[in-house]
Structure formats: C-alpha cells, structure tokens
C-alpha cells in the first residue's frame, strides 16, 4: 500500500508545478511561495494550523498533529482550487484566472504511539511576463522582455508521536524539487546595427528540508479543550544546479522568428549554493467538543538570510497572523442534515517576503468555509472562499485583488476491521 501511494505521488507531481496564475512578484526569490501548507478545512478558517489536530484531520503544517489519528484509520484528503485576480497599476488594470490541483495527502496509524502521513503539493510558482521600453540611446530605441516559468514542488513524509495524553511531537522530511526558469531578452526592433540578445537561466532544485512540531493539549470543564502548538523549520543549505545560455540573434521581437547568430555563454549543470532560511510558528485553539473551535496563529520566516549565489534578491523577513474558527450546530446522528454542516470563517494578514524598491509587499485575506458531510459515508466535501489583496500601486508597483475558491474531499476508512453481512 505504501509503495503504491509513493508511486501515485511521483507520477502526479507534474500537475502541481505551475499551480498559480502569473504574478510579477514571482520574479523574485523562489517565486510566489504557497501561502500555507493547509488543506481546505483550515483555509476556510484563515489558515490557522499550528495547534490543529483531530482523529480525521490531516495537518502537515504541524507533524505532531498526526499523533491524534486513530490507529485503525486510513485518511485521504485532496484539494482543487480556482483563482481569479485583477492586477492594477496607477494607470492600468488586467485580469487573470487559473485552476489546478492543490494538494494530495494520506495519513494512517502504524502503532498506538506512531502515526504517519505522505503528501504532495506545490511549494512555489514562477510565472511572469513584462516588457520595458527605453530611449536612452540616441536613435537606438530598445526593449527588454522579462519572462519566468516553472516552480517548486514538495513531497513530505510526516511522523507524529504520542508522548503522553497531553503531549505530541512530530517531524516532517520534505523533498523539494522543480525548475525555476528566467529569460531576459534585449531587442533593438528598429535597428540593423545591433544584435538582439537572450539570456536564459534554468535553476534545478533537488533538496531535503525538515520541520519539527509539538502540540500540548489540556481538557477541562464540560468537554472543553485548550491546545498550544509550535513548529520549527530548520535552515538548510539546499542543492541546486543551473544551466545558463546566452546568445545573440536577429529578429525575435513581436511574432517574428528568431534567427540565432552566436552563442556567447553556455554553462551546464553549474553548482549553485542556496541558503534556505529558518521558520517559526505558534498557535493556540480553544474547542468545545465537536460544536465550535476558535484559534489564532503567528508565523515568522527569516527570508532576509536567504541567498542564491550569495544574492538575497530583494527579500525580507516575512510574518503572518491568522485568526479563525468553526461552528457545527448539532452533529448527532439523529439531527437533520443542515444542522450537521460545519461553518468556518477567518482572517489573515501577511508581510510577504517581497521588498521591492524599499516597499514591503503586504497581503490580507478574509475567508469563509463550509463542511458538507456525505450521508451514509465517512466522507465530507469542504469548500473555502477567500477574498484578499496583495501589493500596492505606490512607487510604480502592482496591486493584486484576488478571489480564491478551494474544493476539498476528505475520506476516512477503518483498517483491519472485518465487516459482517446478514
């Protein structure tokens, strides 16, 4: 079974490589980082995750949460998302949209004290195109095109350990892989005395990273539960290799076919050091049985220490605060279907790791979620909706207004249980 799951992960990874619509900010660093590693359930609650666990919840953001999975239970969770975005500058606007698979997770019990999980999903995306026109050379106007493509994916192996009734520990081993491609093209569209030039960089990643997690819980009163969670991602010197190709050419601008002239530089498989930063997250939740839950998270990442070939690439430390909760009116087996629905809501505010022209690129979002149990099945369909903004039109920058729809399918089944038929 485990071998089959790993094969499925490996053969579906290509689906996730470009999972976001284009963003000009993805030109920097590792691209647009996947805002959270949470599933649709937690996305509907603003992205709170650090203190979240449950017998039927897969939460790879904190591997200690896996310790709560029932020993005889096999969990499956997969998600799909749609994104609609409007880009605005001080003088223009443009719309875009995209849809893609978002994540694929499974979790299962190994022993009473050890539970595991496997999953795959996007880590970052690179997708941008822009052009700048110049007249700084007298009688020789020129243009520069910037293009980016690709992204990074993440396969994780999660382990959760039940240390005591109140304390759980865990760790993730993450395999980060993918390609980040950047192309810069210099055009002299109206000049026969200058050759056009193209520079293409293909940066390939294959590296391991590690996350640690803990959750402490305390039950009190009439079915109340308080939980505190913390996570730590270790800093890592990642493995990357770069292919570099620079050539001169005629034409190529507009829809004209490129006519290569000469190769200026070609480097294959050049070792490129990448310094990946540490991250810290904390969170608390207060829960009343299966009726309601509220929580708050804070996360921080040391992206100012990030380096590719000793270059930081306009990055700053990022942080995020998220607040959210859920409410289920009445969840007994004899209650009506509509009272079994779970309603979710949340809010998050982020200082992203982008700092362009000395301006911090910030982001906020308001979320709503809905859990729809499937009658007579151990399955639920989850929906999450998010409206938010990122960036600013100040300093010739771009503001992105977005609307996300996430659709998730959660299933669980019992292992080693003999069914009786009469």
Q: Which long-range contacts (CB under 8 A, 24 or more apart) does 6-10 make?
A: 6/118, 8/104, 9/104, 9/118, 9/119, 9/120, 9/155, 10/155
Q: Which residue has the tokens 């992205």?
A: 47
pLDDT in the model for residue 195: 80
Tokens of 119: 């999953």
Per-residue exposure over 272-283, b if at least 16 CB sit within 10 Å of its own CB, e if not: bebebbebebbb
Greatest Cα pair distance, the chain, in angstroms, is: 91
Higher pLDDT, 59 or 100: 59
Q: For residues 382, 126, 299 and 273, what is the CA-based torsion angle, rounded to 10 degrees?
A: 140
Per-residue exposure over 98-137, b if at least 16 CB sit within 10 Å of its own CB, e if not: bebbbbbbbbbbeeeeebbbbbbbbbbbbbbeeeeeeeee
Alpha carbon 245 to its chain's center: 30
- What gap in Å lies between CA 390 and CA 242, rounded to an integer? 31
The pLDDT-based confidence of 13 (bands split at 50, 70, 90) is very low
Q: Mean pLDDT in the chain?
A: 87
Tokens of 285: 């939740």
State the average pLDDT over residues 105-110.
92
pLDDT in the model for residue 18: 47
Helix H or strand E encompassing 111: none
Residue 19, pLDDT > 50, answer no
60 — phi, psi (to 5°)? -75, -5
- What gap in Å lies between CA 410 and CA 79, rounded to an integer? 9
DSSP lists the bridge partners of residue 171 as 159, 212
Question: How many other CB atoms are there within 10 angstroms of residue 152's CB atom?
Answer: 23
Question: How many other CB atoms are there within 10 angstroms of residue 271's CB atom?
Answer: 9
The pLDDT-based confidence of 17 (bands split at 50, 70, 90) is very low
- What gap in Å lies between CA 187 and CA 37, rounded to an integer? 41
pLDDT in tens, 326-361: 999 975 656 678 888 999 999 999 999 999 988 999
The pLDDT-based confidence of 86 (bands split at 50, 70, 90) is very high
- What gap in Å lies between CA 223 and CA 259, rounded to an integer? 73
- What gap in Å lies between CA 348 and CA 47, rounded to an integer? 7
pLDDT in tens, 131-188: 777 777 667 788 888 899 999 999 999 999 999 999 999 999 999 999 999 999 888 8
Cα–Cα distances (Å) from 225 to 219, 328, 362, in that order, read 4, 16, 34
pLDDT in tens, 176-202: 999 999 999 888 876 666 788 889 999
**Does residue 296 contact residue 333 with C-beta atoms inside 8 Å?**
no
CA angle 389, 394, 399 (to 5 degrees): 25
Q: Is the pTM higher than 0.95?
A: no
- What gap in Å lies between CA 37 and CA 49, rounded to an integer? 9
Answer left, alpha or beta for residue 395, where phi above 0 means left and psi between -120 and 50 means alpha. left
**Does residue 306 contact residue 315 with C-beta atoms inside 8 Å?**
yes
pLDDT in tens, 235-287: 999 889 999 999 888 766 665 667 778 888 888 999 999 999 999 999 999 99
pLDDT in the model for residue 306: 95
Write the DSSP assignment of 218-261 as a string of letters: EEETTTEEEEEEEEEEPPEEE-EEEEEEEEEEE--STTPPPEEE
Residue 405, pLDDT > 60, answer yes
The pLDDT-based confidence of 2 (bands split at 50, 70, 90) is very low
Q: Where are the alpha helices (DSSP H) in 13-109?
A: 40-43
């Amino acid at each position: 079974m485990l071998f089959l799951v790993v094969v499925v992960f490996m053969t579906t990874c290509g689906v996730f490589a470009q999972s976001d619509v284009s963003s000009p900010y993805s030109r920097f660093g590792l691209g647009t980082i996947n805002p959270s590693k949470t599933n649709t359930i937690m996305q509907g609650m603003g992205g709170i995750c650090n203190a979240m666990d449950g017998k039927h919840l897969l939460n790879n953001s904190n591997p200690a949460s896996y310790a709560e999975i029932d020993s005889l239970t096999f969990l499956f969770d997969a998600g799909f998302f749609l994104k609609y975005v409007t880009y605005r500058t001080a003088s223009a606007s443009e719309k875009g949209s995209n849809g893609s698979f978002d994540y694929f997770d499974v979790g299962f019990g190994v022993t009473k004290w050890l539970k595991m999980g496997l999953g795959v999903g996007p880590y970052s995306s690179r997708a941008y195109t822009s052009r700048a026109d110049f007249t700084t050379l007298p009688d020789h106007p020129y243009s520069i095109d910037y293009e980016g493509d690709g992204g990074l994916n993440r396969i994780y192996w999660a382990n959760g350990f039940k240390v005591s009734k109140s304390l759980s520990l865990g760790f993730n081993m993450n395999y980060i892989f993918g390609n980040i491609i950047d192309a810069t093209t210099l055009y002299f569209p109206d000049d026969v005395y200058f050759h056009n030039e193209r520079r293409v960089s293909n940066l390939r990643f294959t590296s391991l990273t590690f996350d640690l997690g803990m959750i402490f819980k305390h039950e009190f009163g009439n079915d109340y539960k308080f939980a505190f969670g913390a996570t730590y991602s270790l800093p890592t010197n990642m493995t990357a290799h770069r292919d570099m190709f620079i050539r001169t050419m005629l034409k190529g601008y507009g829809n004209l076919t490129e006519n290569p002239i000469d190769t200026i530089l070609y480097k294959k498989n050049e070792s490129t050091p990448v310094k990946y930063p540490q991250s810290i997250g904390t969170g608390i939740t207060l829960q009343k049985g299966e009726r309601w839950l509220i929580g708050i998270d804070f996360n921080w990442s040391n992206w100012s220490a990030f380096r590719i070939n000793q270059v930081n690439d306009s990055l700053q430390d990022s942080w995020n605060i998220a607040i959210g909760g859920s409410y289920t009116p009445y969840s007994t087996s004899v209650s009506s279907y509509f009272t079994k629905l779970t309603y979710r809501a949340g809010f998050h505010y982020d200082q992203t790791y982008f700092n362009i022209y000395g301006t911090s690129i910030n982001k906020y979002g308001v979320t709503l979620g809905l859990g729809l149990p499937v009658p007579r099945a151990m399955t639920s369909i989850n929906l999450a909706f998010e409206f938010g903004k990122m960036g600013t039109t100040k300093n010739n920058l771009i503001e992105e207004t977005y609307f996300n729809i996430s659709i998730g399918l959660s299933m669980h089944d019992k292992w080693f249980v003999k069914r009786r038929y009469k």
